Each structure stands twice: as structure tokens, then as C-alpha cells.
């Protein structure tokens, strides 16, 4: 058993509490990882507030991390102690019908199919003050050590800087892949990106790499525009500057609507606006933002009848164990630069300050 620090959410709506926790050794088919760096994603904030479906308290959040294998359980063959790895909130078991389908990147062992508050054997490897602590998506990167099933871990290049590639565990891969894999953005096309957080800015990078000729970034926080332009946005617009709905503004700017639109916020009204802003015949809208559990969206069916496509994307369409190591290698070859997404680097005990920066759009 390893004793280490972890940021525990004891109850919904309360700040995280940095505690000493016990982390049990890995059982058969599991890997214990020393987490070196973790990002903060808005999904972690939804867990903290109690809005994430099926999350049980107390829980250790965090799902955007990178680290080094400390030990492996019986039967683990794809990695060994000392390997650099990324834990994966979308596993790739390699055996279910989704994993066997070359067009799918989802896995039937993921959270939407079965809650992941405990490891697959329905027990926890975390305890604190004599209490069992729940896992989050089998990942729980807000702990200095975590235990994850082997099929939810990707071994990456030994040269990868862990404080940068932790973003590949969720934010960067999700946004970048939404443009490259889910939308399949074509050279010369026009794109609109709603929301310029880490995911939305990663969509901008993906659209640029795919050769889009016009990338319109949409956000109500003007402080995000400079970075969006640095990463490839050609136009930046604030919906609050217009008296008409933003979809009408985008349609006027482009003549008939954009070829591809992306919603990286997670609000029902912006999802409908993103759908309406792509052209009515061949436009593709990709839903990336996560709505609160139980939310519903109502749309005018005419938005789809004329030919628009509305798609969702989880982890940017990448088959996680197979594709993320290749994505890290492309980063090492300088094919794109997500380092610009990192605005602050904080010590672990300031995790709550990280959430304050997230909530204030900084």
C-alpha cells in the first residue's frame, strides 16, 4: 500500500480537500501509476458540483493526466514499471463490438455503458481516514498514485514531456480529433467554433491542420481571442456584440452558413445555434460540450430535414490505446503545438485555485 496525497471531493459543491490517502496495489489486469501532471477539465468541475451522472461521493476526480507505471498486476503484458503512460477515460478493451468496429472509438466498458466509480471487480483501491473513496472514470488523476485497468492505459514515447502531454488524456485529443476524425474537415472549408476553452482551442488547431480557409471563433470572453488567433482562428466574434442570433450573424458572414460547426461549451442554446449556423445542405455540426445530466434539447426538425448532419464526439473519435501514442509521437515531431493551451502551472495543493481560474475564464 502506498500513502500519498489526493484531492478528495467529500460532498457535492464543496472545495476539494487535499488528504493523505492509501492506494492499494494493483490486482490482476491492473496498473498502478505515479501521476506526474494533471490538467483540470470542466468535467471535473461538474463532478465537484455533483452534476456528473452516477458519480458517487466521496470521490477523487481528475481524468486528464500523465504519469509513470509504478507496478503492474498479474497478467499485465503491454507495459512495465518505468514506462510513461496516459490513463484513459475512454477505455479500449479490444473485445467488445464497438472496439472491433473500425469506425467506432467508443468501448462498451466506458462510463455511459457501466458506471466507473469502482474498478471492474466492484472494489476501490483508495481509502482515506478508514473510508472507501470512489474512483472517477477509473482514472482519478487528482491523486499522486492511481490504479487503472490495463485496457484504460496507453503507453507513450519515453521522450514525451508529461507536464504537456497530460492534455492528450482529454482536452487536446477531444478538440483536435473532433475536427480531424469526427467532422473530417476538408481543405478550403469554413468552420465555426463555439467556446474557446482548452477543447475549443484544440478544435481550432485541428481545423487549421486540416486546411480550413476560414475559422470563426465564437466566445463571450474577448480575452480568449488573442490566443485563438495565435492558434489559427481567422475571425473572432462575441455574440453579445450583436442584436441578432449568432447563427444569423455566421450565415451572413459566410453567405450560406459554415461547412463545419463545433459546440465546445455544453449549453442547449449554443448547441442549437451551432447546428443552425452550418449550411442547410451539407453542413456538419459536432457536439463536444457536455450538458448537465437530464438535460434535453428541442430543435426545429427542418434544421435536419434539408441535409445537415449532427454528430457527437467522445475523445475526438480516437481509438484510445491505439491512437493516443501516435498522437503523442506527432506532437514530438512538432506537427502541432498544444503547449499554448497551458495558461497556468500550479502545485498540487493549489488545486482549488485551479478551479477558480477555470470558473473565471482565465
What is the percentage of the chain residues whose pLDDT exceeds 90?
96
Cβ atoms of 148 and 93 closer than 8 Å = no
The SS3 of residue 179 is helix
* Residue in 169, 180, 168, 247 with CA at minimum distance from that of residue 208: 180
What was the pLDDT predicted at 187?
98
What was the pLDDT predicted at 292?
80
d(CA 127, CA 124): 8
- Give the Cβ contact number of residue 77 at 10 Å: 7
Q: Please name every residue paired with 71 in a beta bridge, in sequence order, or none if there are none.
A: 32
d(CA 33, CA 104): 27
What was the pLDDT predicted at 53?
85
Q: Say if residue 9 is exposed, middle or buried (CB neighbours under 10 Å; 0-12, 13-18, 19+).
A: buried
The SS3 of residue 310 is strand
Split into its structural domains, the chain has a count of 2
Pair 151, 14 in one domain = yes
What was the pLDDT predicted at 12?
96
Pair 33, 120 in one domain = yes
Q: For residue 189, what is its C-alpha cell?
A: 472549408
Domain extent at residue 95: 2-171+317-360
Pair 238, 150 in one domain = no
- Give the Cβ contact number of residue 321 at 10 Å: 23
d(CA 169, CA 86): 6
Pair 245, 159 in one domain = no
Tell whether 178 is covered by a domain: no
Report the CATH number that the domain containing residue 166 is assigned in CATH: 3.90.180.10
Pair 242, 339 in one domain = no
Residue spans of the chain under pLDDT 50: none
Residue owning grid cell 458572414: 253
Tell whether 50 is covered by a domain: yes
What was the pLDDT predicted at 293?
76
What was the pLDDT predicted at 118?
96
Q: The pTM is what?
A: 0.97
In order, the DSSP letters of 312-324 are E-SGGG--HHHHH
Tell whether 283 is covered by a domain: yes
The SS3 of residue 225 is helix
Pair 296, 161 in one domain = no
Pair 278, 323 in one domain = no
What was the pLDDT predicted at 112?
84
Amino acid at each position: 500500500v502506498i500513502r500519498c496525497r489526493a484531492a478528495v471531493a467529500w460532498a457535492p459543491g464543496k472545495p476539494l480537500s487535499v488528504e493523505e490517502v492509501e492506494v492499494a496495489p494493483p490486482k490482476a489486469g491492473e496498473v498502478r501509476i505515479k501521476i506526474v501532471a494533471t490538467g483540470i477539465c470542466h468535467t471535473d468541475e461538474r463532478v465537484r458540483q455533483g452534476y456528473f451522472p452516477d458519480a458517487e461521493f466521496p470521490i477523487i476526480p481528475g481524468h486528464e493526466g500523465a504519469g509513470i507505471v509504478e507496478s503492474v498486476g498479474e497478467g499485465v503484458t503491454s507495459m512495465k514499471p518505468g514506462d510513461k503512460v496516459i490513463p484513459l477515460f475512454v477505455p479500449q478493451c479490444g473485445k467488445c463490438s464497438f472496439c472491433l468496429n473500425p469506425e467506432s472509438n467508443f468501448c462498451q466498458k466506458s462510463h455511459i455503458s457501466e458506471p466507473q466509480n469502482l474498478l471492474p471487480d466492484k472494489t476501490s483501491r483508495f481509502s482515506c481516514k478508514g473510508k472507501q473513496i470512489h474512483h472517477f472514470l477509473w482514472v482519478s488523476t487528482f491523486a499522486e498514485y492511481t490504479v487503472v485497468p490495463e485496457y484504460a492505459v496507453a503507453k507513450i514515447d519515453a521522450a514525451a514531456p508529461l507536464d504537456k502531454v497530460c492534455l492528450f488524456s482529454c482536452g487536446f485529443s477531444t478538440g483536435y480529433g473532433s475536427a480531424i476524425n469526427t467532422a473530417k474537415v476538408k481543405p478550403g472549408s469554413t468552420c465555426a467554433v463555439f467556446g474557446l476553452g482548452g477543447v475549443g482551442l484544440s478544435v481550432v488547431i485541428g481545423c487549421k491542420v486540416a486546411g480550413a480557409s476560414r475559422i470563426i471563433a465564437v466566445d463571450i470572453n474577448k480575452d480568449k481571442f488573442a490566443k485563438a488567433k495565435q492558434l489559427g482562428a481567422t475571425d473572432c466574434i462575441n455574440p453579445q456584440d450583436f442584436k441578432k442570433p449568432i447563427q444569423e450573424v455566421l450565415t451572413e458572414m459566410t453567405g450560406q452558413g459554415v461547412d463545419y460547426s463545433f459546440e465546445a461549451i455544453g449549453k442547449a442554446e449554443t448547441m442549437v445555434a451551432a447546428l443552425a449556423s452550418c449550411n442547410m445542405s451539407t453542413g456538419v455540426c459536432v457536439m463536444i460540450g457536455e450538458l448537465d445530466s437530464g438535460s434535453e434539447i428541442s430543435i426545429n426538425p427542418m434544421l435536419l430535414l434539408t441535409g445537415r448532419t449532427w454528430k457527437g464526439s467522445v475523445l475526438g473519435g480516437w481509438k484510445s490505446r491505439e491512437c493516443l501514442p501516435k498522437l503523442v509521437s506527432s506532437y514530438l515531431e512538432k506537427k502541432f503545438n498544444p503547449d499554448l493551451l497551458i495558461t497556468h502551472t500550479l502545485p498540487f495543493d493549489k488545486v482549488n485555485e485551479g478551479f477558480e481560474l477555470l470558473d473565471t475564464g482565465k
